[in-house]
C-alpha cells in the first residue's frame, strides 16, 4: 500500500480538541477521549470527550430543568423565531468552517459539504418561520354552552441522535424544529463526525439560546445513546441511522412509552421505461448512486430497467461513471470522496463479492482504490442482479449500483416493493399516466418523477415500513415535537345531570 500523503490544505492544520456542552458550559465530561482519523487523509483531525452515562444523565437533567423552569418554552413564537434566524445567519457566516469539519471528518467532497451547509441554513430559516405559525384549534360548534379549544404544547425534552454521513444537514432537519416548538434537547452526534455539531453549539449560544436548551454529548451509542432513549425524563427520541439501531431505539423508548421519530435505511429504486429522456436519466443515475460515495439513505442504489433498453442504458451509465472523479475530499473538483472507515469499506467489498458469487456481473469497478490517502472505493455497477440477491435487498451504503430488469409495469412495481424498505423511489417516463401509476403504487415516502434526489425545506421526508416512522421537514415538522391538549369549557348552569338532586 502507498503511504498516506498529507495534502497541502492540511499543512498548517492541527487536530482540534472539542468539549461537550452541558447546561451552557463546555466540559471535558467524565470519560476519556476519542480521536477521529480523517477517512480521506489518514491523519488525526479531531478529538472529542468519550461521554458516559453520567454525562448523558447530566445533560438530560439540564434539559429537563430548562424545560420545566426555564424561559425557552415560555417565550413567544416570535422570540424563538428571532433567535433561530440569528442562528441561521451565523451558520451561513461560518459555512466554510463547518463544511471543512464535515469534509475532513466524514470524507465527503468539500464542494458537496458547502452545498449541504447552504441547505442547512435554509432549513433553520424555514423552522424559524414555523415557530410563528404553530397554532391550535377552536370549536364553537358544540352548542351554546360549550367551547372547545385544542392547544399545541411543546412535548418536552427531546433526545436527538444523528449519523455520520450528513453530520450538519441531518441535525438541521431535527433540532431547529424542536426548538421552534419550544422543546429542550440533548443531542448526540456520531462519534465519527461530531465536530460541526459541537461548533453549532457555539453558534446557538451566540445566537441567544438559553443554557440547558441545547446540550451536546459526544460518545458511543451504548454509553451515551442508550440512556438518552431510556431515561424517564426524556419525552421524545428523534433518531436517524441504520434500521437495526432504529429497532433498538424503538425498543428502548417503549420502556417509558416515549414518542419516537425514526429516519432509517433505504434501498431505493429508479424505474426506467423505454420512452424516458435517457440523457437526463443517465446523469441522475450516476448522481443518485455515487453522491456522498453512496453513503446515503436515499441513494438510488437499484436501477430497474425495461429489458428493451437495459443493455444500452447500463453501458451508458458505466461510461459516465468512469468520468466521476474519486479523490482527495479537500479538492474542489472531487465528486466522490472517502469511505467512512476501513471496516465499512470491507463491508462494501463483501457485498460486491457476494453478488458476483451469486451470479451478478461486475460491469464497472468492484474494488477498493489506493490513492495514497485514506480509504476509497471505485464506483461500481453490478449487472444481472436478481431481486432475491442480498445486494438487491439490503442497504450496502456505498458506491454500488445494482441493475435489475422488468418487462411490465406490474413487474416493475413488484420488484420495487419486494424489499423491507420504503424510503424513496424514482420513475422515468414521458407518459404522465405511467409516472402517476408508479407514484401511487410504489410504497415509499418520496417518489421522484423524471428527477432524483431533489428536495426542499417545504417537502416532508421519511419512509414506509423499515425505513422509519414519521416525517421530517415540511410545514408540519414543528407539530411533530408537540402534544395536543383539549380544553373543554362549559358556560352557564349545567343541566341534564343524571344524579338525583
Catalytic residue (choose from 103, 296, 297, 435): 297
Q: What are phi and psi for residue 11, nearest 5 degrees?
A: -55, -45
Q: Which residue has the cell 430543568?
A: 65
489: phi > 0 → left, psi -120 to 50 → alpha, else beta; which?
beta
C-alpha cell at 444: 415509499
Catalytic residue (choose from 263, 295, 395, 472): 263
How far apart (Å, rounded) are the C-alpha atoms in residues 419 and 387?
A: 9
C-alpha cell at 258: 416515549
Strands, sheet with 157-161, edge to edge from the N-terminal-most edge strand = 25-27, 20-22, 214-216, 184-188, 157-161, 236-240, 259-263, 468-469
Q: Look up residue 161 and give its DSSP letter.
A: E
How far apart (Å, rounded) are the C-alpha atoms in residues 190 and 49?
A: 12
Task: Identify whether 183 is a catalytic site residue.
Answer: no
Task: Identify whether 103 is a catalytic site residue.
Answer: no
Query: Residue 479 burial (CB < 10 Å; 0-12/13-18/19+)?
Result: middle
Residue from 377, 380, 367 nearest 322 by CA: 380
Greatest CA separation found in the chain? 94
How far apart (Å, rounded) are the C-alpha atoms in residues 252 and 221?
A: 12
How far apart (Å, rounded) are the C-alpha atoms in residues 495 and 491?
A: 11
How far apart (Å, rounded) are the C-alpha atoms in residues 251 and 273?
A: 41
**Spatial CB neighbours of 247, under 8 Å, sequence gap ≥ 6:** none
* Active-site amino acid positions: 263, 297
Amino acid at each position: 500500500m502507498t503511504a498516506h500523503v498529507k495534502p497541502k490544505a492540511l499543512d498548517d492544520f492541527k487536530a482540534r480538541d472539542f468539549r461537550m456542552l452541558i447546561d451552557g458550559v463546555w466540559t471535558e465530561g467524565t470519560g476519556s477521549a476519542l480521536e477521529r482519523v480523517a477517512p480521506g487523509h489518514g491523519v488525526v483531525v479531531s478529538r472529542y470527550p468519550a461521554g458516559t452515562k453520567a454525562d448523558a444523565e447530566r445533560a438530560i437533567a439540564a434539559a429537563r430543568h430548562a424545560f420545566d423552569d426555564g424561559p425557552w418554552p415560555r417565550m413567544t413564537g416570535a422570540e424563538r423565531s428571532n433567535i433561530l434566524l440569528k442562528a441561521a445567519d451565523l451558520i451561513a457566516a461560518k459555512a466554510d468552517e463547518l463544511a471543512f469539519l464535515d469534509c475532513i471528518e466524514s470524507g465527503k467532497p468539500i464542494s458537496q459539504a458547502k452545498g449541504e451547509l447552504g441547505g442547512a441554513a435554509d432549513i433553520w430559516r424555514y423552522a424559524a418561520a414555523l415557530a410563528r405559525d404553530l397554532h391550535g384549534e377552536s370549536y364553537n360548534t358544540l352548542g351554546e354552552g360549550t367551547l372547545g379549544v385544542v392547544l399545541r404544547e411543546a412535548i418536552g425534552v427531546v433526545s436527538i441522535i444523528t449519523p455520520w454521513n450528513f453530520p450538519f444537514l441531518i441535525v438541521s432537519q431535527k433540532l431547529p424544529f424542536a426548538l421552534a416548538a419550544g422543546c429542550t434537547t440533548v443531542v448526540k452526534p456520531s462519534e465519527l463526525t461530531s465536530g460541526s455539531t459541537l461548533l453549532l453549539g457555539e453558534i446557538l449560544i451566540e445566537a441567544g439560546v438559553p443554557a440547558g436548551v441545547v446540550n451536546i454529548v459526544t460518545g458511543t451509542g451504548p454509553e451515551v445513546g442508550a440512556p438518552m432513549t431510556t431515561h424517564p425524563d426524556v419525552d421524545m427520541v428523534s433518531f436517524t441511522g441504520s434500521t437495526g439501531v432504529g429497532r433498538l431505539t424503538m425498543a428502548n423508548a417503549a420502556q417509558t412509552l416515549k414518542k419516537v421519530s425514526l429516519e432509517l435505511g433505504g434501498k431505493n429504486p429508479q424505474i426506467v421505461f423505454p420512452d424516458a429522456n435517457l440523457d437526463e436519466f443517465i446523469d441522475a443515475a450516476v448522481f443518485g448512486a455515487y453522491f456522498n460515495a453512496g453513503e446515503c439513505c436515499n441513494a438510488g442504489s437499484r436501477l430497474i430497467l425495461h429489458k428493451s433498453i437495459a443493455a444500452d442504458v447500463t453501458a451508458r451509465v458505466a461510461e459516465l461513471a468512469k468520468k466521476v472523479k474519486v479523490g482527495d475530499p479537500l479538492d474542489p473538483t472531487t465528486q466522490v470522496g472517502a469511505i467512512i472507515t476501513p471496516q465499512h469499506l470491507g463491508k462494501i467489498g463483501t457485498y460486491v463479492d457476494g453478488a458476483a458469487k451469486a451470479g451478478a456481473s461486475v460491469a464497472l469497478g468492484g474494488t477498493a482504490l489506493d490513492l495514497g490517502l485514506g480509504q476509497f472505493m471505485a464506483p461500481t455497477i453490478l449487472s444481472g442482479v436478481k431481486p432475491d440477491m442480498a445486494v438487491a435487498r439490503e442497504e450496502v451504503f456505498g458506491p454500488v449500483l445494482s441493475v435489475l430488469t422488468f418487462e411490465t409495469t406490474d413487474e416493475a412495481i413488484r420488484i420495487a416493493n419486494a424489499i423491507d424498505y420504503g424510503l424513496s423511489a424514482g420513475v422515468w417516463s414521458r407518459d404522465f399516466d405511467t409516472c402517476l401509476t408508479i407514484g401511487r403504487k410504489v410504497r415509499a415516502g418520496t417518489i421522484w418523477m423524471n428527477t432524483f434526489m431533489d428536495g426542499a425545506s417545504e417537502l416532508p421526508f421519511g419512509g414506509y415500513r423499515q425505513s422509519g416512522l414519521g416525517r421530517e421537514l415540511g410545514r408540519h415538522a414543528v407539530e411533530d415535537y408537540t402534544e395536543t391538549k383539549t380544553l373543554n369549557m362549559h358556560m352557564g348552569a349545567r343541566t341534564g345531570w343524571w344524579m338525583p338532586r
